[in-house]
């Protein structure tokens, strides 16, 4: 490992070293506030490092790239980790979480996500994917006194382990067929693979199943609502944003590395996208629990992403990256509202508990409404521009049918998001008293809403930046 490698790896190193230090500190020192503050500082330093450290043209140990694309996501996931720690401060102290471990796990998972977003080899992909999933297994059931949390943790663990098995076996088959772990050779190798070619394709199919588990594509989505519901709200936020987004970014890395080499996988991806959007939409409609609703909505969003990935065009990849960014802001904002309304007794999950909250807590009501409308794709929010670039890429790539399905899904999505917004502003009964929220939590909300509105009103700079990132 050379000095250049270290420099290229700097953002991840900051996260990992910071996490380890805080973990050690937490063993002797039990104050929540300074530990979490330290975690926030580490995440922010990592984000800055990723912004200023010169990207290396070399791959790190042949596993990870530190190209601008990876750096962009390193910044994004570090910021997400910082925001989630800001959200967790009160939440964690009210529930007496072991702060050192909690902070360390969040930072570790951010490091894993940052690595995954730049994986250039199947080994790197596997390692980074498993490293942050491992952290998330623990985080999901971090609230020890909560049965639902334990159930969620177990479900996530069992299904995650199955997915890992699929992934490992798939990678083994790909290696057998193509003779390499490295991308794009592992994909291109299939073209010349001779009689081992079917096995290689099977391997990619298995790897796709594993990825389908991670980003909850239908029919591998069944864990999603339960885990979202049972996990502590800040952890759900991390699950919904970083863990899905990083896998999405990895998919872009994989597919963009070998244009045209994955034509055989297109029908499979097409069917997955179709099912994901249809089933996700229909399941989201009747939900009475906000976290479950957001779970199904995240399923639908992954279907949109596939729609833009399928054409395999630079526009499509740019659209995916832009969409992931907007989706992260909106999704994080929505879970931030849930977190900031939670108190020591629990989280307000049932929609029935949200009646008239928009009047009682106008700021958070407005933020939640904005986030949901952005997820739905309302103009003036980033969500609309995201949908626009996504549909544009899909139609341009010739996937008009899927684009129409995506449009229908977003029509349905307006129905379920709008229902929540209507509940927020219905005045039939007085709103229950919930937590007034801390200023730190409000800061998170401010960041999310500003991002959503900024990207909705003036997306040009980010769109231009992203166009230069695509590998």
Residues of the shown chain interacting with another protein in the complex, contacts defined by CB under 8 A? 359, 362, 373, 378-380, 384-385, 388-389, 391-392, 395-396, 400, 403-404, 407-408, 410-411, 414-415, 418-419, 422, 425-427, 458-460, 463-464, 467
Instruction: List the structure tokens of 283.
Output: 């399941």
In the complex, least distance from residue 458 CB atom to another protein, rounded to whole angstroms: 8
Q: Decide whether 176 or 404 has the Cβ nearer to another protein.
A: 404
Closer residue to another protein (CB): 251 or 385: 385
The minimum distance between CB 399 and another protein, in angstroms, equals 12
Q: Is 187 exposed, middle or buried (0-12, 13-18, 19+ CB in 10 A)?
A: buried
Cβ proximity to another protein: between 118 and 459 the closer is: 459
Distance between CA 366 and CA 354 in Å, rounded?
A: 13
Q: Of 27 and 404, which CB lies nearer to another protein in the complex structure?
A: 404
**Residue (243 or 381) nearer to another protein, CB:** 381
Q: Residue 204 or 391: which CB sits closer to another protein?
A: 391
Nearer to another protein, 153 or 311 (CB): 311
Q: Give the nearest distance from C-beta 411 to another protein in angstroms.
A: 6
By beta-carbon proximity to another protein, the closer residue of 236 and 410 is 410
Contact (Cβ atoms closer than 8 angstroms) between residue 405 and residue 357: no
CB-based contact 249:214 (threshold 8 Å): no
In whole angstroms, the minimum distance from the beta carbon of 469 to another protein comes to 14
Cβ proximity of 8 and 58 under 8 Å: yes
Show the tokens assigned to 134: 């491992």
**Least distance between another protein and beta carbon 382 (Å):** 12
- ∠ at Cα 83 (38, 215), nearest 5°? 120
Q: Which residues is 346 bridged to in the sheet?
A: 343
Shortest approach of another protein to residue 351 CB, angstroms? 13
Least distance in Å: CB of 390 to another protein? 10
Kindly tell me which of 152 and 334 has the beta carbon lying closer to another protein: 334
Distance of alpha carbon 419 from alpha carbon 425, whole angstroms: 10
Query: Minimum CB separation from another protein for residue 109, in Å?
Result: 33
Q: In angstroms, how far is CA 148 from the centroid of its own chain? A: 22
State in angstroms the smallest separation of the CB of 445 from another protein. 16
Please report where in the chains the tokens 């919904």 appear, as a residue. 240
Sequence-ordered list of residues with C-beta below 8 angstroms from that of 428, at least 6 positions apart, any chain: 355, 356
| Least distance between another protein and beta carbon 437 (Å) | 18
With beta carbons less than 8 A apart as the criterion, state whether 375 and 298 touch.
Answer: no
- Minimal distance in Å, beta carbon 357 to another protein? 14
Do you find a cis peptide bond into 184, omega within 30 degrees of 0? yes
Do residues 84 and 106 make contact, with C-beta atoms less than 8 angstroms apart? yes
Phi-psi region of 312 (alpha: psi -120 to 50; beta: other; left: phi over 0): left
CA distances from 73 to 185, 333, 373 (A): 24, 18, 24
Angle between helices 362-376 and 382-396 (to 10 degrees): 10
Closer to another protein by Cβ: residue 206 or 385 = 385
Residue nearer to another protein on the CB measure, 154 or 418: 418
For CA atoms 288, 290, 291, 293, give the dihedral sign. Answer: positive
Backbone φ and ψ of 31, nearest 5°: -65, 130
Peptide bond into 131 cis (omega under 30): no
């Amino acid at each position: 490992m050379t000095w250049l490698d270290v420099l290229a790896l700097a953002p991840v190193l900051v996260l990992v070293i910071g996490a380890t230090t805080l973990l050690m500190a937490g063993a002797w020192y039990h104050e929540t506030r300074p530990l979490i503050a330290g975690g926030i500082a580490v995440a922010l330093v990592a984000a800055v490092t990723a912004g200023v450290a010169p990207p290396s043209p070399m791959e790190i140990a042949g596993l990870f790239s530190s190209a601008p694309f990876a750096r962009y996501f390193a910044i994004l996931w570090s910021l997400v980790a910082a925001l989630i720690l800001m959200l967790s401060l009160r939440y964690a102290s009210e529930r007496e979480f072991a702060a050192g471990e909690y902070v360390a796990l969040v930072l570790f998972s951010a490091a894993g996500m940052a690595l995954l977003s730049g994986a250039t080899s199947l080994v790197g992909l596997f390692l980074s994917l498993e490293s942050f999933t491992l952290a998330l297994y623990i985080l999901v059931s971090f609230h020890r006194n909560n049965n639902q949390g334990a159930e969620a943790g177990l479900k996530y663990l069992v299904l995650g382990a199955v997915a890992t098995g699929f992934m490992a076996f798939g990678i083994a088959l790909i290696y057998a067929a193509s003779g390499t772990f490295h991308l794009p050779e592992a994909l291109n190798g299939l073209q010349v693979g001779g009689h081992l070619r079917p096995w290689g394709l099977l391997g990619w199919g298995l790897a796709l199943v594993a990825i389908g588990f991670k980003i909850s594509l239908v029919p591998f989505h069944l864990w999603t609502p339960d885990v979202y519901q049972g996990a502590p709200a800040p952890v759900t936020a991390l699950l919904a944003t970083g863990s899905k987004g990083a896998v999405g970014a990895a998919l872009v890395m994989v597919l963009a590395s070998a244009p045209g080499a994955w034509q055989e996988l297109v029908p499979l991806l097409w069917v997955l996208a179709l099912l994901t959007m249809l089933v996700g939409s229909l399941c989201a409609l009747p939900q009475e629990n906000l976290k479950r609703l957001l779970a199904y909505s995240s399923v639908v969003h992954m279907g949109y992403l596939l729609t833009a990935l399928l054409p395999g065009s630079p526009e499509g990849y740019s659209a995916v990256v832009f969409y992931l960014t907007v989706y992260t802001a909106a999704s994080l904002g929505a879970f931030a509202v849930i977190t900031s309304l939670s108190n020591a007794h629990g989280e307000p999950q049932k929609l029935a508990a949200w009646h008239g909250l928009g009047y009682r807590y106008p700021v958070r009501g407005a933020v939640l409404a904005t986030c949901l409308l952005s997820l739905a794709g309302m103009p003036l929010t980033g969500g609309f521009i995201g949908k626009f670039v996504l549909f544009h890429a899909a139609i341009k790539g010739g996937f008009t049918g899927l684009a129409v399905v995506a449009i229908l899904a977003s029509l349905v999505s307006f129905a379920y998001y709008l229902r929540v917004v209507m509940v927020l502003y219905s005045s039939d009964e007085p709103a229950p008293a919930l937590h007034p929220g801390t200023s730190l939590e409000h800061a998170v909300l401010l960041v999310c809403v500003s991002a959503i509105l900024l990207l909705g009103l003036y997306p040009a700079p980010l769109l231009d930046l992203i166009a230069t990132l695509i590998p």
